[in-house]
Structure 1
Amino acid sequence: MRDKYTGIQLVLFDVDGVLTDGGLNITSEGEIYKQFNVKDGVAIALLKAHGIRTGVVSGKQSAALDYRCKQLALDVIITGCSDKLSAAQRLVSEMNIAPSQIVFVGDDIIDLSVMDFVGVSYSPADGHVLAKRRADIILECPGGAGVAREVAEHILFSRGLSLEEMYQPLLIKDERTIVVQ
Protein backbone atom coordinates (compact mmCIF):
# COMPACT_ATOMS: atom_id res chain seq x y z
CA MET A 1 0.00 0.00 0.00
CA ARG A 2 2.83 2.41 0.82
CA ASP A 3 4.14 2.21 -2.79
CA LYS A 4 0.76 3.32 -4.12
CA TYR A 5 0.97 6.52 -2.09
CA THR A 6 4.71 7.10 -2.47
CA GLY A 7 4.23 7.64 -6.21
CA ILE A 8 1.49 10.27 -5.85
CA GLN A 9 2.53 13.46 -7.63
CA LEU A 10 -0.76 15.35 -7.97
CA VAL A 11 -3.87 15.71 -5.82
CA LEU A 12 -6.93 17.14 -7.56
CA PHE A 13 -10.07 18.29 -5.79
CA ASP A 14 -13.57 18.93 -7.01
CA VAL A 15 -14.79 22.12 -5.36
CA ASP A 16 -18.53 22.22 -4.61
CA GLY A 17 -19.34 19.46 -2.15
CA VAL A 18 -15.64 18.74 -1.52
CA LEU A 19 -13.78 21.95 -0.64
CA THR A 20 -17.12 23.63 0.13
CA ASP A 21 -20.32 22.26 1.63
CA GLY A 22 -21.96 22.54 -1.78
CA GLY A 23 -24.03 25.60 -0.92
CA LEU A 24 -24.42 28.25 -3.60
CA ASN A 25 -24.71 31.92 -2.65
CA ILE A 26 -26.22 33.51 -5.74
CA THR A 27 -27.78 36.85 -6.51
CA SER A 28 -29.03 38.14 -9.85
CA GLU A 29 -25.43 39.23 -10.51
CA GLY A 30 -24.02 35.75 -9.98
CA GLU A 31 -22.26 33.90 -7.21
CA ILE A 32 -21.13 36.24 -4.46
CA TYR A 33 -19.04 33.96 -2.26
CA LYS A 34 -18.10 30.40 -1.40
CA GLN A 35 -17.27 29.25 2.08
CA PHE A 36 -13.99 27.34 2.29
CA ASN A 37 -12.44 25.69 5.34
CA VAL A 38 -9.13 27.13 6.58
CA LYS A 39 -7.90 23.61 7.38
CA ASP A 40 -7.83 22.92 3.66
CA GLY A 41 -5.45 25.83 3.07
CA VAL A 42 -3.03 24.22 5.51
CA ALA A 43 -3.53 20.90 3.71
CA ILE A 44 -2.45 22.44 0.39
CA ALA A 45 0.72 23.78 2.02
CA LEU A 46 1.31 20.40 3.63
CA LEU A 47 1.07 18.53 0.33
CA LYS A 48 3.33 21.07 -1.40
CA ALA A 49 5.88 20.81 1.42
CA HIS A 50 6.14 17.10 0.60
CA GLY A 51 6.57 17.66 -3.13
CA ILE A 52 2.98 16.89 -4.14
CA ARG A 53 1.32 19.25 -6.60
CA THR A 54 -2.27 20.32 -6.02
CA GLY A 55 -5.21 21.54 -8.03
CA VAL A 56 -8.92 21.79 -8.65
CA VAL A 57 -11.11 20.49 -11.43
CA SER A 58 -14.50 22.10 -10.98
CA GLY A 59 -17.67 22.12 -13.00
CA LYS A 60 -18.41 25.65 -11.83
CA GLN A 61 -16.57 28.89 -12.38
CA SER A 62 -16.79 31.97 -10.20
CA ALA A 63 -14.75 34.96 -9.11
CA ALA A 64 -14.78 33.63 -5.53
CA LEU A 65 -13.33 30.31 -6.66
CA ASP A 66 -10.71 32.01 -8.84
CA TYR A 67 -9.66 34.16 -5.88
CA ARG A 68 -9.28 31.18 -3.53
CA CYS A 69 -7.32 29.16 -6.09
CA LYS A 70 -4.88 32.00 -6.62
CA GLN A 71 -4.63 32.60 -2.89
CA LEU A 72 -3.65 28.96 -2.35
CA ALA A 73 -1.22 29.03 -5.31
CA LEU A 74 -2.64 25.81 -6.70
CA ASP A 75 -0.59 24.18 -9.45
CA VAL A 76 -3.64 23.25 -11.54
CA ILE A 77 -6.78 25.36 -11.84
CA ILE A 78 -9.48 24.04 -14.14
CA THR A 79 -12.90 25.61 -13.65
CA GLY A 80 -16.08 25.64 -15.68
CA CYS A 81 -15.25 22.10 -16.78
CA SER A 82 -18.07 19.74 -17.71
CA ASP A 83 -15.74 16.96 -18.96
CA LYS A 84 -13.45 16.29 -16.03
CA LEU A 85 -12.11 13.03 -17.48
CA SER A 86 -10.75 14.81 -20.57
CA ALA A 87 -9.18 17.41 -18.30
CA ALA A 88 -7.47 14.70 -16.23
CA GLN A 89 -6.27 12.92 -19.37
CA ARG A 90 -4.85 16.19 -20.67
CA LEU A 91 -3.00 16.73 -17.38
CA VAL A 92 -1.41 13.28 -17.64
CA SER A 93 0.00 14.27 -21.01
CA GLU A 94 0.99 17.84 -20.11
CA MET A 95 2.58 16.96 -16.76
CA ASN A 96 4.14 13.72 -18.01
CA ILE A 97 2.70 11.66 -15.18
CA ALA A 98 0.72 8.42 -15.06
CA PRO A 99 -2.93 8.27 -13.99
CA SER A 100 -1.74 6.09 -11.08
CA GLN A 101 0.19 9.11 -9.76
CA ILE A 102 -2.96 11.19 -9.39
CA VAL A 103 -5.39 11.38 -6.48
CA PHE A 104 -8.87 12.77 -7.15
CA VAL A 105 -11.44 13.79 -4.56
CA GLY A 106 -15.00 13.91 -5.84
CA ASP A 107 -18.49 13.80 -4.44
CA ASP A 108 -21.00 13.48 -7.27
CA ILE A 109 -21.82 11.75 -10.53
CA ILE A 110 -19.85 14.24 -12.66
CA ASP A 111 -16.74 12.95 -10.84
CA LEU A 112 -17.18 9.22 -11.41
CA SER A 113 -15.16 8.90 -14.63
CA VAL A 114 -12.18 10.70 -13.09
CA MET A 115 -12.42 8.58 -9.95
CA ASP A 116 -12.13 5.49 -12.14
CA PHE A 117 -9.20 6.97 -14.13
CA VAL A 118 -6.83 7.97 -11.31
CA GLY A 119 -4.67 5.89 -8.98
CA VAL A 120 -6.53 6.73 -5.77
CA SER A 121 -9.94 8.32 -5.30
CA TYR A 122 -11.66 9.72 -2.24
CA SER A 123 -15.21 10.84 -1.50
CA PRO A 124 -16.43 13.00 1.40
CA ALA A 125 -18.69 11.33 3.96
CA ASP A 126 -21.72 13.08 2.46
CA GLY A 127 -20.83 12.34 -1.16
CA HIS A 128 -23.43 10.82 -3.46
CA VAL A 129 -23.81 7.07 -2.96
CA LEU A 130 -22.38 6.36 -6.44
CA ALA A 131 -19.28 8.45 -5.69
CA LYS A 132 -18.79 6.64 -2.40
CA ARG A 133 -19.11 3.28 -4.16
CA ARG A 134 -16.38 4.26 -6.64
CA ALA A 135 -14.06 5.83 -4.07
CA ASP A 136 -11.07 3.91 -2.78
CA ILE A 137 -11.44 5.81 0.50
CA ILE A 138 -14.58 7.32 2.03
CA LEU A 139 -13.60 10.18 4.30
CA GLU A 140 -14.97 10.93 7.74
CA CYS A 141 -15.41 14.63 6.90
CA PRO A 142 -18.38 15.89 4.94
CA GLY A 143 -17.74 18.36 2.11
CA GLY A 144 -16.46 21.73 3.26
CA ALA A 145 -15.40 20.47 6.68
CA GLY A 146 -11.68 19.86 6.15
CA VAL A 147 -11.76 17.26 3.38
CA ALA A 148 -8.40 18.33 1.92
CA ARG A 149 -6.77 18.15 5.36
CA GLU A 150 -8.05 14.60 5.89
CA VAL A 151 -6.85 13.57 2.41
CA ALA A 152 -3.41 15.13 2.88
CA GLU A 153 -2.90 13.44 6.24
CA HIS A 154 -4.12 10.09 4.89
CA ILE A 155 -1.68 10.23 1.96
CA LEU A 156 1.25 11.15 4.20
CA PHE A 157 0.33 8.57 6.87
CA SER A 158 0.16 6.00 4.07
CA ARG A 159 3.71 6.98 3.14
CA GLY A 160 4.77 5.99 6.64
CA LEU A 161 5.08 9.47 8.16
CA SER A 162 4.03 10.25 11.71
CA LEU A 163 1.94 13.34 12.39
CA GLU A 164 5.03 15.13 13.69
CA GLU A 165 7.09 14.16 10.63
CA MET A 166 4.45 15.28 8.16
CA TYR A 167 4.01 18.72 9.77
CA GLN A 168 7.71 19.36 10.41
CA PRO A 169 8.24 21.26 7.13
CA LEU A 170 5.46 23.69 8.08
CA LEU A 171 6.97 24.31 11.50
CA ILE A 172 10.33 25.40 10.11
CA LYS A 173 10.57 29.12 9.45
CA ASP A 174 11.42 29.12 5.77
CA GLU A 175 10.49 31.62 3.10
CA ARG A 176 9.71 28.74 0.71
CA THR A 177 6.98 27.37 2.95
CA ILE A 178 3.85 29.50 2.70
CA VAL A 179 0.75 28.49 4.60
CA VAL A 180 -2.46 30.22 3.57
CA GLN A 181 -5.45 29.45 5.71
Structure 2
Amino acid sequence: MTTASTVSTWYGEIPAQLLDRLQNIKLVIFDVDGVFSDGRIYLGNQGEEFKAFNTRDGFGVKGLLNNRIEVAVITGRRSEIVEQRMQALGVNHIYQGIEDKISCYEELNRNLQLTDEQIACMGDDVPDVQMIQRAGVGVAVNDAHPWVQQQADYVTSLRGGYGAVRELTDLILLSQGHLQLHGGVSL
Protein backbone atom coordinates (compact mmCIF):
# COMPACT_ATOMS: atom_id res chain seq x y z
CA MET A 1 0.00 0.00 0.00
CA THR A 2 1.24 3.48 -0.91
CA THR A 3 1.71 5.97 1.94
CA ALA A 4 2.08 9.29 0.03
CA SER A 5 -1.14 11.09 -0.89
CA THR A 6 -0.10 11.50 -4.55
CA VAL A 7 2.18 9.71 -6.96
CA SER A 8 4.10 11.48 -9.71
CA THR A 9 3.56 9.91 -13.14
CA TRP A 10 4.23 10.93 -16.73
CA TYR A 11 0.63 12.10 -16.76
CA GLY A 12 1.00 14.31 -13.70
CA GLU A 13 0.26 13.76 -10.04
CA ILE A 14 -2.40 11.15 -9.36
CA PRO A 15 -3.93 10.17 -6.01
CA ALA A 16 -2.06 7.26 -4.43
CA GLN A 17 -5.45 5.78 -3.50
CA LEU A 18 -6.32 5.59 -7.22
CA LEU A 19 -3.08 3.74 -7.96
CA ASP A 20 -3.94 1.30 -5.15
CA ARG A 21 -7.40 0.68 -6.65
CA LEU A 22 -5.90 0.12 -10.12
CA GLN A 23 -3.92 -2.81 -8.70
CA ASN A 24 -7.19 -4.80 -8.53
CA ILE A 25 -8.26 -4.29 -12.16
CA LYS A 26 -8.86 -7.45 -14.21
CA LEU A 27 -11.17 -5.96 -16.87
CA VAL A 28 -11.17 -2.59 -18.61
CA ILE A 29 -14.29 -1.52 -20.49
CA PHE A 30 -14.00 1.26 -23.05
CA ASP A 31 -16.50 3.26 -25.03
CA VAL A 32 -15.24 3.81 -28.59
CA ASP A 33 -16.33 7.13 -30.12
CA GLY A 34 -14.73 9.92 -28.10
CA VAL A 35 -12.44 7.47 -26.30
CA PHE A 36 -10.52 5.44 -28.90
CA SER A 37 -11.33 8.13 -31.45
CA ASP A 38 -11.73 11.88 -31.17
CA GLY A 39 -15.49 11.46 -31.45
CA ARG A 40 -15.75 12.68 -35.02
CA ILE A 41 -17.17 10.46 -37.74
CA TYR A 42 -16.09 11.09 -41.31
CA LEU A 43 -18.57 10.09 -44.01
CA GLY A 44 -17.58 9.74 -47.66
CA ASN A 45 -19.74 10.48 -50.70
CA GLN A 46 -20.50 6.79 -51.11
CA GLY A 47 -21.64 6.42 -47.48
CA GLU A 48 -18.33 4.99 -46.29
CA GLU A 49 -17.35 5.76 -42.72
CA PHE A 50 -13.88 6.68 -41.51
CA LYS A 51 -12.41 6.93 -38.02
CA ALA A 52 -8.88 7.54 -36.81
CA PHE A 53 -7.36 5.39 -34.07
CA ASN A 54 -4.17 6.17 -32.15
CA THR A 55 -1.48 3.47 -32.41
CA ARG A 56 -0.28 4.28 -28.89
CA ASP A 57 -3.72 3.32 -27.58
CA GLY A 58 -3.43 0.02 -29.44
CA PHE A 59 -0.04 -0.62 -27.86
CA GLY A 60 -1.56 -0.02 -24.42
CA VAL A 61 -4.46 -2.42 -25.09
CA LYS A 62 -1.98 -5.10 -26.15
CA GLY A 63 -0.08 -4.45 -22.91
CA LEU A 64 -3.21 -5.16 -20.88
CA LEU A 65 -4.02 -8.31 -22.84
CA ASN A 66 -0.43 -9.56 -22.58
CA ASN A 67 -0.75 -9.27 -18.79
CA ARG A 68 -4.04 -11.19 -18.60
CA ILE A 69 -6.22 -8.12 -18.12
CA GLU A 70 -9.41 -8.48 -20.14
CA VAL A 71 -10.48 -5.67 -22.46
CA ALA A 72 -14.00 -4.93 -23.69
CA VAL A 73 -15.64 -2.25 -25.78
CA ILE A 74 -19.26 -1.30 -25.33
CA THR A 75 -20.44 1.24 -27.88
CA GLY A 76 -23.78 2.61 -28.95
CA ARG A 77 -22.94 2.67 -32.63
CA ARG A 78 -22.30 -0.20 -35.03
CA SER A 79 -19.27 0.03 -37.25
CA GLU A 80 -17.28 -2.49 -39.25
CA ILE A 81 -14.24 -0.29 -38.64
CA VAL A 82 -14.56 -0.81 -34.87
CA GLU A 83 -14.92 -4.58 -35.34
CA GLN A 84 -11.78 -4.68 -37.50
CA ARG A 85 -9.72 -2.52 -35.17
CA MET A 86 -10.66 -4.38 -32.00
CA GLN A 87 -10.11 -7.79 -33.61
CA ALA A 88 -6.69 -6.64 -34.83
CA LEU A 89 -5.83 -5.75 -31.22
CA GLY A 90 -7.06 -9.12 -29.91
CA VAL A 91 -10.09 -7.75 -28.04
CA ASN A 92 -12.60 -10.59 -27.57
CA HIS A 93 -15.43 -8.66 -25.93
CA ILE A 94 -16.86 -6.35 -28.61
CA TYR A 95 -20.41 -5.07 -28.03
CA GLN A 96 -21.81 -2.69 -30.63
CA GLY A 97 -25.21 -1.08 -31.04
CA ILE A 98 -25.76 -1.14 -27.28
CA GLU A 99 -28.20 1.44 -25.93
CA ASP A 100 -28.39 0.03 -22.40
CA LYS A 101 -24.68 -0.11 -21.58
CA ILE A 102 -25.14 -0.92 -17.88
CA SER A 103 -26.98 -4.15 -18.71
CA CYS A 104 -24.14 -5.16 -21.01
CA TYR A 105 -21.65 -4.24 -18.24
CA GLU A 106 -23.55 -6.45 -15.77
CA GLU A 107 -23.69 -9.39 -18.20
CA LEU A 108 -19.96 -9.14 -18.89
CA ASN A 109 -19.28 -8.87 -15.15
CA ARG A 110 -21.30 -12.06 -14.50
CA ASN A 111 -19.77 -13.98 -17.41
CA LEU A 112 -16.22 -13.19 -16.28
CA GLN A 113 -17.14 -13.71 -12.61
CA LEU A 114 -15.69 -10.38 -11.48
CA THR A 115 -16.61 -7.83 -8.84
CA ASP A 116 -17.11 -4.15 -9.62
CA GLU A 117 -13.81 -3.41 -7.83
CA GLN A 118 -12.00 -5.48 -10.49
CA ILE A 119 -13.38 -3.37 -13.35
CA ALA A 120 -12.26 -0.03 -14.77
CA CYS A 121 -14.46 1.79 -17.25
CA MET A 122 -13.60 4.71 -19.54
CA GLY A 123 -16.12 6.92 -21.31
CA ASP A 124 -16.82 10.39 -22.55
CA ASP A 125 -20.56 11.07 -22.57
CA VAL A 126 -23.87 10.53 -20.79
CA PRO A 127 -24.49 6.94 -22.03
CA ASP A 128 -21.30 5.87 -20.21
CA VAL A 129 -22.11 7.39 -16.81
CA GLN A 130 -23.81 4.40 -15.18
CA MET A 131 -20.82 2.18 -16.02
CA ILE A 132 -18.36 4.84 -14.85
CA GLN A 133 -20.22 5.16 -11.54
CA ARG A 134 -20.52 1.39 -11.04
CA ALA A 135 -16.96 0.36 -11.90
CA GLY A 136 -14.28 0.13 -9.24
CA VAL A 137 -12.43 2.83 -11.19
CA GLY A 138 -14.48 5.11 -13.42
CA VAL A 139 -12.52 7.21 -15.89
CA ALA A 140 -13.49 10.10 -18.16
CA VAL A 141 -11.34 11.36 -20.99
CA ASN A 142 -10.03 14.92 -20.76
CA ASP A 143 -12.55 16.25 -23.28
CA ALA A 144 -15.54 14.32 -21.93
CA HIS A 145 -18.78 16.12 -21.18
CA PRO A 146 -18.24 18.15 -17.96
CA TRP A 147 -20.94 16.25 -16.05
CA VAL A 148 -19.34 12.94 -17.01
CA GLN A 149 -16.01 14.20 -15.69
CA GLN A 150 -17.70 15.00 -12.37
CA GLN A 151 -18.91 11.39 -12.09
CA ALA A 152 -15.47 9.86 -12.71
CA ASP A 153 -12.81 8.83 -10.21
CA TYR A 154 -10.14 10.02 -12.64
CA VAL A 155 -10.06 12.36 -15.63
CA THR A 156 -7.22 11.71 -18.06
CA SER A 157 -4.74 14.42 -18.95
CA LEU A 158 -5.10 13.44 -22.62
CA ARG A 159 -8.12 13.72 -24.92
CA GLY A 160 -10.05 10.89 -26.49
CA GLY A 161 -8.33 9.66 -29.65
CA TYR A 162 -5.09 11.32 -28.59
CA GLY A 163 -3.67 8.83 -26.10
CA ALA A 164 -6.27 8.79 -23.29
CA VAL A 165 -6.62 5.01 -23.59
CA ARG A 166 -2.85 4.61 -23.36
CA GLU A 167 -2.77 6.84 -20.29
CA LEU A 168 -5.17 4.53 -18.45
CA THR A 169 -3.44 1.35 -19.64
CA ASP A 170 -0.05 2.73 -18.52
CA LEU A 171 -1.41 3.59 -15.08
CA ILE A 172 -2.96 0.13 -14.64
CA LEU A 173 0.21 -1.63 -15.76
CA LEU A 174 2.33 0.67 -13.56
CA SER A 175 0.17 -0.07 -10.52
CA GLN A 176 0.44 -3.81 -11.14
CA GLY A 177 4.21 -3.76 -11.78
CA HIS A 178 3.89 -4.73 -15.45
CA LEU A 179 4.71 -1.49 -17.29
CA GLN A 180 7.42 -2.31 -19.84
CA LEU A 181 9.38 0.43 -21.57
CA HIS A 182 11.14 -1.60 -24.23
CA GLY A 183 10.31 -3.71 -27.26
CA GLY A 184 7.05 -4.34 -29.00
CA VAL A 185 5.36 -3.01 -32.11
CA SER A 186 2.92 -0.11 -32.44
CA LEU A 187 -0.51 -1.29 -33.52
Fold conserved (TM > 0.5)?
yes
CA distance in 1, matches of 2:165, 2:22: 16
CA distance in 2, matches of 1:131, 1:83: 17
| 1:156 Cα offset (Å) | 2.1
| 1:31 Cα offset (Å) | 4.5
CA distance in 2, matches of 1:31, 1:55: 25
Q: Is the 8 A contact 1:72 1:180 kept in 2?
A: no
Q: Provide the residue aligned with 2:11 in structure 1.
A: none
Q: Is the 8 A contact 2:28 2:71 kept in 1?
A: yes
CA distance in 1, matches of 2:63, 2:150: 28
After superposition, the C-alpha distances for 1:97-128 in whole angstroms (9 at most, x for unaligned) are 11111110000001101111111011111000
SS state of the match for residue 170, structure 2?
helix
- Structure 2 counterpart of 1:118, from 129, 135, 138: 135
Q: Provide the residue aligned with 1:88 in structure 2.
A: 105
Within a 5 Å distance, the mapping from 1:48-127 to structure 2 comes to: 48-127=65-144
Letter in 2 for 1:95: L
Q: CA RMSD in A?
A: 1.8
SS state of the match for residue 167, structure 1?
coil
Q: Is the 8 A contact 2:62 2:90 kept in 1?
A: no
CA distance in 1, matches of 2:135, 2:48: 30
Letter in 2 for 1:59: G
Within a 5 Å distance, the mapping from 1:19-58 to structure 2 comes to: 19-27=36-44, 30-58=47-75
CA distance in 2, matches of 1:127, 1:67: 25
TM-score (norm 2): 0.84
CA distance in 2, matches of 1:131, 1:111: 8
| 1:75 Cα offset (Å) | 2.5
Q: Provide the residue aligned with 1:146 in structure 2.
A: 163
TM-score (norm 1): 0.87
CA distance in 2, matches of 1:106, 1:155: 16
SS state of the match for residue 166, structure 1?
coil
1:166 aligned onto 2:179: yes
* Matched length: 170
CA distance in 1, matches of 2:33, 2:75: 8
Unpaired stretches in structure 2, ≥5 consecutive residues: 1-16
Q: Is the 8 A contact 2:124 2:148 kept in 1?
A: yes
